[in-house]
Structure 1
């Protein structure tokens, strides 16, 4: 630390100034100075080679940059970071693909398959920058997202054994036996360990047979559950039979494709791209670095600390779009876990684990195979990101516990993020002391491609001092919503001192609380369609046959649920009451939604005077207009979003307010209201449609004027941030006849 301080002091005394370099792949030249748009560098690598001092920057112009860059030894600071970012408002693409242009294709008019020779291996194929699906059985596609649904899997008969899968005949057509394929040599994606999925080559299969063999060489006991075991096959020419699929024979270097249109791609058409690299950017032994305002297409980032001398610190990813960031190598007959976006700011020294800090803000992660993001550091900040449609195979990583986003660090914040329709059994996996708040998690593994799991899951001792608050977890019926987990049997290995408060979960299994010494307060849990008489707010006394008594010292206050209890007593068939040292003012009843303002439009405020409106209010929200704040979780856009009531809603004339998710980092919001669409859409602050403004500190609820019956109203909310005004959409609100 002292050497860095001395270096900065010397730089100041010597008058060293930071430089801003320009990169332009179309008009640049690496022989230029890089100091002006007219004298730009051509490659990001050449610009990185010139980054020497804190505050130096690379500004990258629009273009596709097919580069593999290793950053090692840069020393920026929190005050003067080194920056690599898009130039002004331009969005360059850090591209892991190459164009596939061919002078000709061979077309098989019987099968519709196009084929051509390649000169290098590819691991993914894209048409117009969208993913094509590796040939598979049963058929399913990325384009319609059926690959996330286990209705398009093969299902194992209960007579299946380790190493020998027997298809039960319920898959596509009449199952594997009736498929007409010979799957020998294909890659089998085997969800045979409940929350674990393994990849193995098919060793032997015969056409017309319902069974195939694989090498069952897993290095640990797996949760083999015959009733849930399922699989699909991939990466064989035998499986290529529908539009939108492809296969690459890495032995002959021949590419086979059935495009989503008739015929083959036109000669030299610039529409097809193949992935040839995994990590476009690798970072180590670096501090004070920001990567911002770029798209990583079929490419991603690996940042790591090899030892204490190479510890990374103050690394920020800001406003990046990771589009198909990681791809498996199954098409190359490789069973390894994909090389995912991973940042590890930790290193051991003399028996002490040291941490750096990471920040991932305002990024988009979509279409990843494997976890979308794994990070490890201390007091990291992962905020206002969206993770959508990641992980359709569910392959298990080397540590055995998967998730869309995995925190492996200490005292990290995961906030204001959206997780949308991801395939892994777990959405967010928290770690020690994590602060998990204001996240919107929905559709997690809703297609049941894996068993078990939860939208937010924290296991065993990692529960200690973890806080989960102000989240919505919903619409994933086979999964738990929020879960403090323990092994079973626990053998006394319980998590302690966790907090679960002010969350809303619905159309999922449970808020599931195991361990002890927790606080569980002001949560809502309802609409568990698969409950079968079991709790959806479960503060466990005992878990099934485990003899350990849990939650002896837990505090359970002000919660509302369809059914709240302490789990099922398997000896009597009855449910234990909610466990805890203090259990007060909780509501359990199937009519819970009747006591809220309007749950279908996400207005969960208690009705005034209802059973939820107690001296200490039950649930996370205040009744009616008692508060001007109504938290809406999830990623914020620059403009306002998530209107309540939603656009086009029909409401009573007694509707008291409109609610919205504020603009990202907005300071003030302006409210417009009226009965004329054009006037409301185009109004300024000086016109009568403008109602009033609220600072972000004053809330996100605008009180409505008196409403007339059978009338269509329009409303708009603009967000102001600094000198920028982000105009909101114009939403409609219709009133019922009085």
Structure 2
């Protein structure tokens, strides 16, 4: 599947903000930005505070367990929490009021006195009051003027087809365009623009263009980055933040010297002067938390703003028992390139410990049921001891790749973290997850990592040599990416040891790579590799390094179309798969024939096939289980229908499968041949099949199917009496 051809079977990514029930054991204070007053007591809706900071100040004088309940509306303020002392079992809480979802907003409305409109270019121009570094229209991101053209709105910004490419004659500091994008033919002068330079494999840099002339295919930039992986044939670039680049609808440019905003509106009409739909970002962090323990922040949207929770460096301070639950962080990090600043974007940072050495890290935090969308850099950076990152969505983050060492969509630098049931969906940078030491990484769904190839190297789950020690990577799906799926890195003296890769499903990637030694690789399946090479690669020798790896690695019960020890650069062939014990694998055959319906994500073994031999199971699933594990973020509604909605199946199919509803205790199953009737059916109708408790599984039996027919089905999730109606799915026979 190509970058733009992958079709998700559901359009619902975001979770309802209902996860944290209002705890009433302590005092609760109300915040109402529209009707409140900071001189009020805050103790009921008619006497609400106006600002969140005023409520936080009240918590500083209160007892653990007390809460701030924030009414819906926009809150444009920087809130500072320092020295709040709740406990693990009686945390202070800041949350949306009941089922309301307030917006912590880093933007201000752009309402100029008038717009100047140029009929030739279609540009609307106006003097504004703020230095803005991101621009939103109807709460969606507009694209900073760039060349070659690409937009956030259609996600072409994630695709390197819309970058320029370096000619082989390029030199460090002096790039020659190879002609595919046509810099010389464009006629633009990019001197003074910001150049985004992917010239270091998985390293991308930002520097201003020092010299260029219109009609030239060559430009120079300040090359002060030190030692980079300079390889012109793999290098690429684009320009941003110059008025000369503004030429298509959906782009904008702000001139900080003249205070003039230039915009080509998507609909060709200058924004309404009295509307607040056009908004400029002026804040990075709306919430900062330091020297604090026992705090929960829940059921809030952060729009073009984010959170910085951190222990102060070079001190003994730390943060502990912080929980971030059911937050929607939309465009949490934005660069300041439009203002001429080439620094990294200010990411969402949860640093529990000021100690940067793994052995001295302390403090714990949890990130649960949150959505991180549209960060221009790393979506989440965190450290601590035993951090829990669970049931989150990381979607469409980082179309620039400008982060330290490739960064990853999620970067952990602590110890003992659990990263579970998260979905990483089409994030742009070369690596998806880069965890800290002794991490447990399980039940995650990684899709389309770096599908647009804006960086080289990398993998969906990327384990450096140090973090390999004691890491457990199990029960994950990684697919539809030109990168490696799971990677244990390091070589020679920098080998990693004692890692675990088990019960993973990998397809349409560059396979699984295991470098180092003393690992266990078991019950994985890998197939449909994107390029030549191995689906499961347990490395014997890396390139021309004579160090033999994986002498003591165990490789058992796996299945792969091709498995070996990597490329033999000495004779052009392939090394045999490495390992001290290599047993009971099904390698170098097409394993897809031995799974029920792999194209529809059903990886259960076919009865009597090669993946089941006696009592030994190859691969991650058993034949007749009533439960089928599906990784990734659980929604309140059921999701991930198997077979995929709209697919064709064999009429002998006897069951459907789905990802269970978040925190549901039972599910209601409906099935029939009429979409409308199935969609509206209740428990009294013929389409109703049964109610099943969660512990009884998610493999639901079907009645007998007819050939050449279409069927519809629906599964509602029931959370202790609160029913979330499911979507209607279908398949054909």
| Length-normalised TM-score, structure 2 | 0.94
Report what 2:370 is aligned to: 363
Q: 1:692 Cα shift?
A: 3.0
1:651 paired residue number: 649
- What is the alpha-carbon distance in structure 2 between the residues aligned to residue 382 and residue 351 of structure 1? 18
CA positional deviation for 1:464: 0.4
1:699 to 1:350, Cα distance in 2 relative to 1, 3 A = closer
Q: Which whole-Å CA distance do the structure 2 matches of 1:309 and 1:193 have between them? A: 36
Partner of 1:48: 56
Q: CA deviation at 1:585?
A: 1.2
- Alpha-carbon distance, 1:448 to partner: 0.6
The one-character-per-residue Cα deviations of 1:672-728 (angstroms, maximum 9, x if unpaired) are 233444554344445543333332222210122222333333322222222322222
Pick from 716, 723, 726: which aligns with 2:724? 726
Structure 2 CA distance, aligned partners of 1:170 and 1:702? 52
Describe the SS at the equivalent of 1:457. Answer: strand
Query: Quick one: distance in 2 between partners of 1:676 and 1:109?
Result: 52
Does the 8 Å CA contact 2:31/2:52 hold for their aligned counterparts?
yes
> Over residues 391-444 of structure 1, what are the superposed CA-to-partner deviations in whole Å (9 max), with x where a residue is unaligned?
0111132xx341100111101011111111110000011221111111111111
Q: Partner residue of 1:480?
A: 484
Note if 1:33 corresponds to 2:37: no
CA contact (8 A) 1:392 1:449 kept: yes
Could you say if the C-alpha distance between residues 106 and 676 of structure 1 is closer, same or farther in structure 2, counting changes exceeding 3 Å?
Answer: closer
Q: 3-state SS of the aligned residue for 1:620?
A: coil
Residue of structure 2 equivalent to 1:68: 78
Question: What is the match of residue 415 of structure 2?
Answer: 410
Distance in structure 2 (CA, Å) of the matches to 1:335 and 1:717: 49
Q: Structure 1 residue 589: deviation in Å?
A: 2.9
Alpha-carbon distance, 1:103 to partner? 1.9
Counterpart CA distance in 2 for 1:413 and 1:554 is 24
Q: How many Å apart are 1:570 and its aligned residue?
A: 1.5
Report the CA distance shift for 1:394/1:727 in structure 2 as closer, same or farther (over 3 A): same
Match of 2:3 in 1: none
Q: Tell me, in whole angstroms, the C-alpha distance in 1 between the residues paired with 2:282 and 2:430.
A: 29
| Residue aligning to 2:134 | 124
Question: Could you say which residue in structure 2 is the equivalent of 1:586?
Answer: 585
Contact kept in structure 2, 1:285 and 1:309, CA below 8 Å? no
Structure 2 residue 520 is the aligned partner of structure 1 residue 519: yes
Classify 1:18/1:203 alpha carbon distance in 2 versus 1 (closer, same or farther; 3 Å): same
Q: Deviations over 1:44-92 (max 9, x none)?
A: 1111110032011111111110000110010111111101111111111
Pair 1:492-2:493 in alignment: yes
- Corresponding residue for 1:237? 243
| Counterpart-to-counterpart distance in 2, 1:62 and 1:135 | 34
Structure 1 position 450 matched with structure 2 position 449: no
| Pairs within 5 Å for 1:653-692 | 653-692=651-690
Q: Structure 2 CA distance, aligned partners of 1:17 and 1:223?
A: 58
Counterparts of residues 206-217 of structure 1 (less than 5 Å): 206-217=213-224
Q: Deviations over 1:637-661 (max 9, x none)?
A: 1111111112233322210211010
Specify the SS of the correspondent of 1:45. Answer: helix
SS of residue matched to 2:329: strand
8 Å Cα contact 1:196-1:450 kept in structure 2: yes
Judge conservation of contact 2:681–2:688 (CA < 8 Å) in 1.
Answer: yes
CA distance in 2, matches of 1:186, 1:74: 44
How many equivalent pairs are there?
706
Equivalent in the alignment of 1:571: 570
Q: Do the aligned residues in 1 keep the contact of 2:479 with 2:508 (CA within 8 Å)?
A: yes
- Structure 2: how far apart are the matches of 1:683 and 1:126? 41
Cα displacement string for residues 96-140 of structure 1 (whole angstroms, at most 9, x for unaligned residues)? 000000120111222111111122211101111111110111011
Mapped partners of 1:234, 1:308: distance in 2:
39
Tell me what 2:634 maps to: 636
**Given that residues 308 and 354 in structure 1 are in contact (C-alpha distance below 8 angstroms), is that contact kept between their aligned partners in structure 2?**
no
2:279 aligned with 1:273: yes
Does residue 528 (structure 1) correspond to residue 529 (structure 2)? The answer is yes
8 Å CA contact 2:168, 2:232 repeated in 1: yes
2:695 corresponds to 1:697: yes
Query: What is the match of residue 620 of structure 2?
Result: 620
Separation of aligned partners in 2, 1:115 and 1:563: 58
Matched with 2:605 is 606
- Residue 100 of structure 2 aligns with which residue? 90
Partners of 1:386 and 1:141 in 2: how far apart? 22
Provide the rounded CA distance (Å) in 2 between the counterparts of 1:717 and 1:229: 48
- Considering Cα pairs closer than 8 Å and 6+ residues apart, tell me whether 1 or 2 has the greater RCO: 2
In structure 1, the partner of 2:157 is: 147
Quick check: 1:389 aligned with 2:396?
yes
Shift of 1:157: 0.5
Task: Please state how far the C-alpha of 1:19 moved relative to its aligned partner.
Answer: 1.6
Task: Structure 1 unaligned segments of length 5 or more: list them.
Answer: 1-15
CA spacing shift, 1:645–1:55, aligned 2, 3 Å: same
Q: Which residue of 2 aligns with 1:258?
A: 264
Q: Let me know the Cα RMSD of the aligned residues.
A: 1.7
- Report the Cα distance in structure 2 between the residues aligned to 1:272 and 1:620, rounded to whole angstroms: 49
**Within 2, Cα distance between the matches of 1:464 and 1:715?**
45
Q: Is the 8 A contact 2:447 2:478 kept in 1?
A: yes
2:310 corresponds to which residue? 304
Gap change, CA 1:646 and 1:191, over 3 Å in 2: same
1:107–1:263 CA contact under 8 A, matched in 2 = no
SS at match of 2:233: coil
Structure 2: distance between partners of 1:161 and 1:310 = 46
Aligned to 2:713: 715
1:269, 1:401 → 2: CA distance? Answer: 40
The 1:71–1:574 alpha-carbon spacing in structure 2 relative to 1, beyond 3 Å, is: same
Is 2:445 the counterpart of 1:440? Answer: yes
- What runs of 5+ residues in structure 2 fail to find an aligned partner? 1-23
Q: State which drifts further: 241-250 or 102-111.
A: 102-111
Other structure's SS at 2:492 match? coil
- The answer to whether the 8 A contact 2:241-2:253 is kept is yes
Alignment partner, residue 463 of structure 1: 468
